[in-house]
Amino acid sequence: MRLQAHRSQKTALDDYAPSRTGLLLVDPYNDLLSEGGKLWPQVGPVAEAVNLLLHLRALVEAARRVGTVVFYIPQRQWREGDYDGWRHPGPWQTLTDRQSIFGEGKWGGDWHPGCAW
């Protein structure tokens, strides 16, 4: 079924009541979203190919335009000693500990400057 031309301006947010809806942005850290971030080698090619930051900005602006609250949801930041005593850390915990991903007080644990919209 073809969409009519006037419907092409509709956003994904049009289907939700703004007063009962929230937009959640999870982990907008430098380590994830910035060139030079510890996870950027894995994330960067896809993020650039889909213009991730441009689309995130557009989504946040659309949400605010219709009165939807935007929540920034950071996971707990890594701290020295977080995994001390763990007998069976998983691969993610091992990687996080070795590389101090999303480290508290570190550049990679700060929010990406483009996410301060």
Write the pLDDT tens digit of every residue in 2-45.
Answer: 434 444 667 665 777 888 889 999 989 999 999 999 999 999 99
Which fold does the domain 21-80+88-115 belong to in CATH? Rossmann fold (3.40.50)
Give the domain ranges of the chain: 21-80+88-115
What is the reported pLDDT for 16?
78
Helix then strand then coil, % of the chain, to nearest 5? 45, 10, 40
Locate all alpha helices (DSSP H) within the chain, ordered by sequence.
30-33, 40-49, 52-65, 91-99
Residue count of the chain, please give it: 117
Q: CA 36 from chain center: how many Å? A: 16
Tell me 36's DSSP state.
Answer: T
Helices 52-65 and 40-49: crossing angle in degrees, nearest 10, is 70
